[in-house]
Amino acid sequence: MDLLGGTGGPVRIAGRGLEREALLGWAAAVAKEIAGADAVAVHATASLETAAAVVGGLLAGVPVVPLPPDSGSDERAHILGDSGAGLLLAARAEAPPSGPPLLPVDELPRDGSFSAPEPPADATALILYTSGTTGAPKGVLVARGAIAAGLDGLAEAWAWTPDDVLVHGLPLFHVHGLVLGLLGPLRVGSPLVHTGRPRPEAYAAAAREDGGSLFFGVPTVWSRTAGDPASAEALRGARLLVSGSAPLPVPVFERLAALTGHEPVERYGMTETLITISARAGGERRPGHVGTPLPGVETRLAAEDGGDVPHDGETPGELHVRGPLLFKGYLNRAEATAASFTADGWFRTGDIAAIGPDGWHRIVGRASTDLIKSGGYRIGAGEIENALLAHPGVREAAVVGTPHADLGEQVTAYVVADGVGERQLIDFVAARLSVHKRPRVVHLVGSLPRNAMGKVVKTRLGEP
């Protein structure tokens, strides 16, 4: 199936640009070299080499394994060994010191040609590795048809057309930056301006100089943009600001809307599901909510005993998803694949959500870290984090449940703040939410641990 569409605009990454046809010629040269391989790894820096390598894999019908460029030796060895990648694609000077044989992408011609039958829709396009928070990273098999369906659904939801200029600076080894941020504009036909890193001033420059109309960012990016009024002001001419990969704090949503004139569109997805839920370009945006399912996607909530959860906007349950965007399974892990689906075919996301009577979804958090069971109450960490972030002295906040002899778990907050103390913050939350939701302990810290996508790694909270 043709993932890349027809004609389209140029691609610029970290200041280097190519017209679409030149990129496809370079990718064709890659495809010629790797044709017939079982899988290839790509040292996925923010570069044109990464773009050519990934597109080359798609042309050749060879599964691509994006390798985070900052991965440590153990993580890299696990991904390469588990995936069975027989080649490593990278610029020669940037290649990691160990791994399979190197194909230096930067030394291949830019005017190659390659012809092969179009792979079927169920062929694996990407093997994306999870973050490994519950063990060694697992390889997620993503089919070509799932990518096409997901991108077409988002193009409809966001009114994304070739007339847009997409701007972002996200890593090219995750769904957000790679599938949405690179394959998306290639399929839709819109130009891409990748800023190298997602800095507010770089987004502002792309808005002024490149006519950026569609901007992708994670909450950290938008928080920093909201803290830089001059850069935020430059985005007033944009058409759409999209936030994903983690919940956008309500205070950031509100400040960004005030400074840019745009209420951001939020959406929800996972490596295993791609993007399944989103607000719409032409519709309402609700702070703290991620919208409604994309066409063809179904969702439901399940209680801990497997029973149904009412769609009342308040009662939380585990979010289950099914539809054409789901992954094929975990590589070499049949038991893990089977365990991730219900008997009637729904994927268990592991995320806790609430769904309103009108179908709008609110993500409470991960079942493992964001649902706190305290004194008989089920408390969502995100609601408390938003309450803390509403305090003018608070810059960052993360909330988890920690063991408590009487309550089972207590609400514990880690906060980056200026000029405010623990008791003040506890009272601040208690005055805004139910008293049982107040933090019983607040740790004032200098920073929160985050991964490459800007998500707080809650399992590392409390580390020295």
Reduce the secondary structure of the chain to three states and give it as a string.
CCCCCCCCCCEEECCEEECHHHHHHHHHHHHHHHCCCCCEEEECCCCHHHHHHHHHHHHHCCCEEEECCCCCHHHHHHHHHHHCCCEEEECHHHCCCCCCCEEEHHHCCCCCCCCCCCCCCCCEEEEEECCCCCCCCCEEEEEHHHHHHHHHHHHHHCCCCCCCCEEECCCCCCHHHHHHHHHHHHHHCCCEEECCCCCHHHHHHHHHHHCCCEEEECHHHHHHHHCCHHHHHHHHHCCEEEECCCCCCHHHHHHHHHHHCCCCEEEEEECCCEEEEECCCCCCCCCCCCEEECCCCEEEEECCCCCECCCCCCCCEEEEEECCCCCCEECCCHHHHHHCECCCCCEEEEEEEEECCCCCEEEEEECCCCEEEECCEEEEHHHHHHHHHCCCCEEEEEEEEEEECCCEEEEEEEEEECCCCHHHHHHHHHCCCCHHHCCCEEEECCCCCECCCCCECHHHCCCC
Instruction: Give the model's confidence band at 131: pLDDT under 50 very low, under 70 low, under 90 confident, else very high.
Output: low
Residue-level pLDDT at 96: 87
Q: Is the pLDDT of residue 376 over 70?
A: no
Minimum mean pLDDT range among 60-64, 89-93, 251-255, 450-454: 450-454
> For the chain, how many residues are written?
464
Domain housing 434: 371-460
Q: Is the pLDDT of residue 1 over 70?
A: no
Instruction: Look at the block and give the residue holding tokens 């800023």.
Output: 195
Of 248, 263, 278, the residue at which a domain comes to its end is 263
- CA separation for the pair 44, 462 (Å, rounded): 31
In a domain, 366, yes or no: no
Residue-level pLDDT at 277: 98
Residue-level pLDDT at 335: 95
Q: How many domains does the chain have?
A: 2
- Look at 386 and 208; give whichever has higher pLDDT: 208
In a domain, 207, yes or no: yes
Tokens representing 344 are 């009637």
- CA separation for the pair 194, 214 (Å, rounded): 12
Q: Is the pLDDT of residue 437 over 60?
A: yes
Distances, alpha carbon 217 to alpha carbons 103, 200, 245, in Å? 31, 10, 9
In a domain, 132, yes or no: no
Of 210, 238, 263, the residue at which a domain comes to its end is 263
Residue of 422, 407, 351 whose CA lies nearest to 374? 407
**At 281, which amino acid appears?**
A
In a domain, 170, yes or no: yes
In a domain, 26, yes or no: no
- CA separation for the pair 397, 325 (Å, rounded): 32
Q: For residue range 314-324, what is the model confidence (pLDDT) as tens digits? A: 899 999 999 99
Average of per-residue pLDDT across 222-245: 95
Q: Is the pLDDT of residue 284 over 90?
A: yes
Residue-level pLDDT at 357: 96
Average of per-residue pLDDT across 47-74: 93
**At 382, which amino acid appears?**
G
Residue-level pLDDT at 304: 83
Average of per-residue pLDDT across 143-152: 97
Residue-level pLDDT at 310: 93
In a domain, 9, yes or no: no
Residue of 9, 17, 55, 16 whose CA lies nearest to 34? 55
- CA separation for the pair 241, 3 (Å, rounded): 24
Instruction: Give the model's confidence band at 367: pLDDT under 50 very low, under 70 low, under 90 confident, else very high.
Output: confident
**398: domain CATH number?**
3.30.300.30
Q: Is the pLDDT of residue 205 over 90?
A: yes
Average of per-residue pLDDT across 199-224: 95
Residue of 68, 96, 84, 76 whose CA lies nearest to 136? 76
Instruction: Give the model's confidence band at 426: pLDDT under 50 very low, under 70 low, under 90 confident, else very high.
Output: very high
**At 133, which amino acid appears?**
T
Instruction: Tell me whether residue 98 is exposed, middle or buried, using C-beta atoms within 10 angstroms of its C-beta: 0 to 12, 13 to 18, 19 or more.
Output: exposed
Q: For residue range 153-163, what is the model confidence (pLDDT) as tens digits? A: 999 999 999 99
In a domain, 396, yes or no: yes
Minimum mean pLDDT range among 138-152, 284-298, 444-458: 444-458
**209: domain CATH number?**
3.40.50.980
Average pLDDT, the chain: 92
Instruction: Look at the block and give the residue holding tokens 């008997």.
Output: 343
Minimum mean pLDDT range among 182-186, 266-270, 344-348, 377-381: 377-381
In a domain, 219, yes or no: yes
Q: Is the pLDDT of residue 201 over 90?
A: yes
pLDDT above 90: percentage of residues in the chain? 74
Residue-level pLDDT at 175: 94
Residue-level pLDDT at 246: 79
- CA separation for the pair 193, 173 (Å, rounded): 17
Instruction: Give the model's confidence band at 370: pLDDT under 50 very low, under 70 low, under 90 confident, else very high.
Output: confident
Of 208, 240, 263, the residue at which a domain comes to its end is 263
Q: Is the pLDDT of residue 373 over 80?
A: no
Residue-level pLDDT at 453: 65
